[in-house]
Chain A
């Protein structure tokens, strides 16, 4: 018995961190952020080469057949480097949906293309996972119409997977007739905010699942765990930078880290942050291995990381003084990533509300 990562998982993290350090300097990040599509082709190639894009895809379909815990390990590293990569939807949620609700033929057709990085699927929910915008879609035979806001990873997507209010998922080619995408300027320049307008677009329905709603919840929960892990990484990075800065910056002839106000803040932050890692790991593990705890843990991990992430983002920014408030330092990319993750797939309040429902504490 062991609670922790395996050697393979530490190695996965190591090689990914190497790639991210090499490919993602702050200058590079700025360039990609200017475009705002949340996609860096060179980085994506690197992720494909490391087998990360096909992480969840079964080996028989050309993937690595790994588990959600591995995905969480990857997400933490991506968050640490605020990597512009369509990971939550395209690498985790879409393949999971296909694996859970796609027919054998659909899986055989799409999963290999996902693993090779050729197909990148955005995910959008038409109801049920805490969107605050509009979402109304109608399905007529195999034609789908409606407006979808808050699509994840849409910036460089070839397809969009739409979760219908009844839980079924419909796969739509983003470049086909009847599909229009609108990209808005996003708070988080490493992740786009996009909506799709569908007008009688052709849809492939995934309906091999016994219970479509269960699959939709599973996919949303997997997304939540991965966003929580992403926040963990981003917050850890901000913490590490604030700690390093506090040992460097001198005021009143002392490094600021020797002041209790600063030292105690850092102590409080690490006390908040460190247990989050175990929570995220277990939440990810539970999605695959502990079904009776899976829902509560995904929701609570998402909610808790949203809260801790915000606190760390604020206080580490503050700890950098005026420099923390500049564009120059670039810390704001992390701040905004944390802010983005907090709202996506259900803000903390929404997730806790749903966790209450799951535990039977919500009858009114």
Chain B
């Protein structure tokens, strides 16, 4: 355990603290993952990139800050930002999922072309994985692409596509090798949303907002080099992305930040004149979750350390999504309970950032269920943890014949 705050770290802490003090008022209220970043968010992002508080370890030639990975530095930055309640920068599917995928398995040209604009928040991505017939069973995707005069010609339908209504690009999982079987027949393509033949139809979610979409693709043409790795490698690439998606969905920094918000809420709300933080039943729930958040936080540091050393984390990494999404849900549930009947007026505004506090918590609480389902549901996580992490036998597949019974 080498967590000694040497002079280098103290200097960084001072620096970040100073930055937050002098610039914190410029921060947008949230990361803004559910809408296109506005001017304020883009300016903030620019500032963070300039100072190396975002994309700190992404190579300079791709628009990052170019420093080697140092877990302590990242922890200091995250800590200072979350305890000051300022945004740590934009978190969206492009930045948190596609960029690390390209850095891991993409070509140099792809990195040079996409990483910079994506981390600056200029290019927004959506994820074209799920289809009406394949969600948990992702590899059963039917959307297909044939090759014709140097282009993929894509046909099919995606569903639950978050952000597709304002995204510039989609990373798409589709079938290109019809003879190569379920997993081996897939490819991972980068598709401009402006391409002719793409039809995006918003779907209203339980929050009342249209946050995801149906995406229809009809004879959509993309140049043949818009593929990550090779034809037939799609399942592998999709899983690289899923790895990062799951780390994002279970991000312990988000839990720390949200815990701080719940504590604030419990200091200012009261029940019959007593602040809720002073009421034993609510307080004990808070403290129980605090224990879980602390465990998740240090577990996250351990994972980062292992990553920096190039060590395999095995099951320790696989648990992050299941763990983090459940705790996030418990936190927002506590917030909703603390608000009590006063939290029942539900009046979403045109812009999420304009919502009042109660509405925000109710939406968070519902959206947390969405995040428990998305990116591979909790049960799918349990299968993965059990089978890949603990070496338990796979489910025997019941080949049920679908169709009318005799």
Which residues of A are at the interface with B, using a C-beta cutoff of 8 A? 1-6, 69, 243, 246-247, 254-255, 257-258, 260, 263-264, 266-268, 270-272, 274-279, 281-282, 285, 289-290, 297, 300-301, 303-304, 307, 349, 352-353, 355-356, 361-364
User: Using a CB-CB cutoff of 8 Å, which residues 373-406 of chain B contact chain A?
Assistant: 379, 381-383, 385-387, 389-396
A243 contact set on B, CB distance < 8 A? 390, 392
Q: Are A303 and B298 in contact (CB under 8 A)?
A: no
> Is A303 within 8 A of B291, CB to CB?
yes
| 20 A/B residue pairs, CB under 8 Å, sorted by A | A1-B2, A1-B70, A1-B73, A2-B309, A3-B305, A243-B390, A255-B393, A258-B393, A263-B382, A263-B390, A264-B386, A266-B392, A267-B381, A268-B382, A274-B315, A277-B299, A278-B301, A281-B298, A300-B287, A300-B294
Partner of A276, one of B2, B72, B284, B295: B295
A352 contacts B287, C-beta separation under 8 Å: yes
Residue of A nearest to B389 (CB): A270
Given A3-B301, A263-B392: 8 more A-B contacts, CB < 8 Å: A1-B73, A2-B308, A255-B393, A275-B319, A281-B1, A303-B291, A352-B284, A356-B287
Say if the beta carbon of B302 comes within 8 Å of chain A.
yes
Contacts of A247 in B (CB 8 A): 391-393
CA distance A277 to B306 in the complex (A): 14
- Which of chain A's residues have a CB closer than 8 A to the CB of B70? 1
Specify which of B291, B299, B322, B381 lies most central, judged by the most chain A CB atoms within 10 Å of its CB.
Answer: B291
Does B51 belong to the interface (CB within 8 Å)? no
CA distance A270 to B274 in the complex (A): 38
**A-B residue pair count with CB separations less than 8 angstroms:** 156
A303 x B1 contact (CB < 8 A): no
Q: How far does the alpha carbon of A272 sit from the alpha carbon of B299 in the complex, in Å?
A: 11
A260 CB contacts on chain B under 8 angstroms: 379, 382-383, 395
* Given A270-B319, A271-B322: A285 touches B278 (CB 8 Å cut-off): no
Among A2, A266, A267, max chain B CB count under 10 A is at: A267
Expressed in whole angstroms, the Cα–Cα distance for A304 and B287 within the complex equals: 10
Counting CB contacts under 8 A, is B323 at the interface? yes
Which residues of chain A have C-beta atoms less than 8 A from B308's C-beta?
A: 2
Whether A304 touches B291, Cβ cut-off 8 Å, given contacts A3-B3, A274-B319, is: yes
Is B295 in contact with A275, judged by CB distance below 8 angstroms? yes
A314-B383 Cα distance, complex, nearest whole Å: 22
The closest CB in chain B to the CB of A273 belongs to B319
Of B3, B390, B394, the contact of A267 (CB 8 Å cutoff): B390
Taking the nearest CB of chain B, how far is it from the CB of A57, in angstroms? 21
Complex interface residues of chain B between 137 and 188 (CB less than 8 A to chain A): none
Q: How long is the Cα–Cα vector from A300 to B296 in the complex, in angstroms?
A: 13
Assuming A243-B390, A279-B294, A352-B288, is B299 touching A4 (CB within 8 A)?
Answer: no
In the complex, what residues of A have CB within 8 A of residue B277's CB?
361
